[in-house]
Amino acid sequence: MYAMSQFQELINQALKEDIGTGDLSTRIFSEDLTSSAKLYAKQEGVIAGLALVEQVFYSVDPRIHIRPLVKDGDRVKVGDIVIELDGPLSSILQGERTALNFLQHLSGIATATKRAVDQVAGLSTAIVDTRKTLPGWRALQKYAVRVGGGQNHRFGLYDAVMLKDNHLAAVGGLTEAVQRTRDQIGHMVKIEVECETFEQVKEAVACGVDVIMLDNMGIEDMRRAVSYIDRRAVVEASGGIQEETLRQVAETGVDLISIGALTHSVKAVDFSLDLGEIKATTRASWERGI
């Protein structure tokens, strides 16, 4: 996991949009009421984002004590307790929704990724993500993909070149786009080219690109392309690949399958938080508080 300082601004923003000028609902409680609580799974899934959950509660109130019972990457089943915590009652309730939002979304990504990885088990094909991420969440979402057993594609426009249909059209073709790119960035940065036809695949091989993406190709077309490329470039399959066809695609011999849905439309894993024993330091607290 990354250093939490990298995500403190995102956490602060999430808490601010939820708590705003103050939580109206917890005004019914006395300030010195404390409670224990358990955060548990309501669905099966793969855990991701526990450090964020801890940091959310700590950001609300450093008096909240948190004890994780699992770790990122663990599978959980319905009813499994993920975290036990205790601290000021109002503070726990104020951090609850934001903490669950982070955990549910990131665990959803890890779970979907693990399901995809399992589909291609025993083959040499890796499952990778894309740049189709939520603004401000990219590092977190890509972390969750790794937790689920997938690999990360490029992080942004700055760490690798991907020449897509618009790039090729704007400069008059694949070969021209590759040559201009090499003139600009030199030989140290990898170049990937998106190919929609077999003719483009042959042209990409002739240009000596590092990675060839087979975009929206059928199974037989992919198999033909992989055979032609013959390890002269890394081969990535992308576009319109469903969970039920993952293994078929992997069996064509592609090295990578990129799946945008891992981050842009994943289903969250459901978790919930239940309070335990509520305590007060004085009897007056009970009379005023609950």
261 is in an annotated binding site: yes
User: Length of the chain, please?
Assistant: 290
Both tokens assigned to 234: 């890394």
Phi and psi based region of residue 189 (left: phi greater than 0; alpha: psi -120 to 50; beta: remaining): beta
Q: Any known ligand binding at 131?
A: yes
Q: Does 150 show up as a binding residue in the annotation?
A: no
What pLDDT shows up at residue 240?
Answer: 85
Active centre residues (catalytic):
97, 132, 164, 194, 215
Domain boundaries, the chain: 4-116+267-289, 121-264
Give me the residue label for tokens 């104020």: 94
Select from 99, 106, 119, 98 the least CA-distant residue to 146: 106
Pick the CATH number of 121-264 from 2.40.110.10, 3.40.309.10, 3.20.20.70, 3.40.50.11540: 3.20.20.70
In CATH, what number does 4-116+267-289 get?
3.90.1170.20
Q: What is the pLDDT of residue 281?
A: 66
Among candidates 194, 231, 248, 246, which has minimal Cα distance to 216? 194
Backbone phi and psi for residue 220, each to the nearest 5 degrees, phi listed first: -65, -40
Show the 3-state SS of 259-279. CCHHHHCCCCCCEEEEEEEEE
Known binding residue 232? Answer is no
Residues 57-81 pLDDT 10s: 999 999 999 999 999 999 999 999 9
124 annotated among ligand-binding-site residues:
no
> How far apart (Å, rounded) are the C-alpha atoms in residues 138 and 155?
8
Cα radius of gyration (the chain): 24
pLDDT (tens digit per residue) in 107-120? 999 999 999 999 99
132 is in an annotated binding site: yes
CA distance to 84, 86, 252, per residue, from 81 (Å): 7, 14, 41
**pTM for the full predicted model:** 0.93
pLDDT of residue 288: 47
